[in-house]
Amino acid sequence: MTVAELDLDLDIFAGPFDLLMAVVLREEVNLLDLQLGEVVVAYIEHLEAEGELELEAATEFLVLIAALLELKSRLLLPGAEEEIDELGPEEAVEELLARLLEYRRFRAAAAMLSGRFDAARGYLYRTAPLPPSLRRVAVDAATAAYDPDRLGTALGDLLVVPPPVDISHIRPTVSLERRLRALRDALSGRASIDFDEQFGGEDRLTQAVTLFALLELYRKGEVTWKQSEPLGPIEIRRQETV
């Protein structure tokens, strides 16, 4: 069951849970009048009726309820009303979505770490206890377990300076800020440039980041581009700012 399938029948609202979230964020329902405990009870009763629990849907419900609880607690705390009034419906929606996406990122990271731990479980080691022959006996009565020369060789290997680490396979970092500067410098004093002529000699990663920088300049209204045919040359034109 998804959160959207939860049907509520409350004193001040009747309908699906996702609609309740929408009317609360649009301030059509006063959050102070909404009993969030009734929403939780309705969700639990629905789970009992279904007889199954989907962890992903349940976790999403908990995140949304926690966000509503935080917003309601801010309204109830003294001096917090002005701060909530400054938060418009669209900003409240963005805040809830940002928190939900952040939760999903952390859940994905936890799943990845758990998978790596399970994959490396066969390589984990534990400190072994002392052999039975060395337990509760004097040092003079202990027998050598390893050859002293072997121990000396092992300690000598620790003193050898290891060779430098080969980092030739690591690709250099390409920042968006540098590619923005490169585009602006290329268009400085010129009305237009050809993308392939200007950046065709760069590696694929640099070209990809340059395309992102081109989209950013287009969003800011600094440049536009033209491509007469598919896979044809891309002409970048500088727009005059008013």
Per-residue confidence (pLDDT) for residue 3, from 0 to 100: 61
Distance CA 8, CA 15 (A): 5
For residue 223, what are the contacts with CB-CB under 8 A and spacing of at least 6?
183, 187, 214, 217, 236, 237, 238, 239
* pLDDT of 81: 45
pLDDT tens for the chain, residues 1 to 242: 566 667 777 777 777 777 777 777 777 777 777 788 888 888 788 777 777 767 777 777 787 788 788 877 777 765 544 444 555 666 766 777 777 777 777 888 888 888 888 888 777 666 677 777 666 666 666 666 667 788 888 888 888 888 888 877 776 778 888 889 898 888 888 888 888 888 888 888 888 888 888 899 888 888 888 888 888 888 898 887 65
Instruction: For residues 191 and 105, give the distance between their C-alpha atoms in angstroms, rounded to a whole number.
Output: 43
Are the C-beta atoms of residues 42 and 97 closer than 8 Å to each other?
no
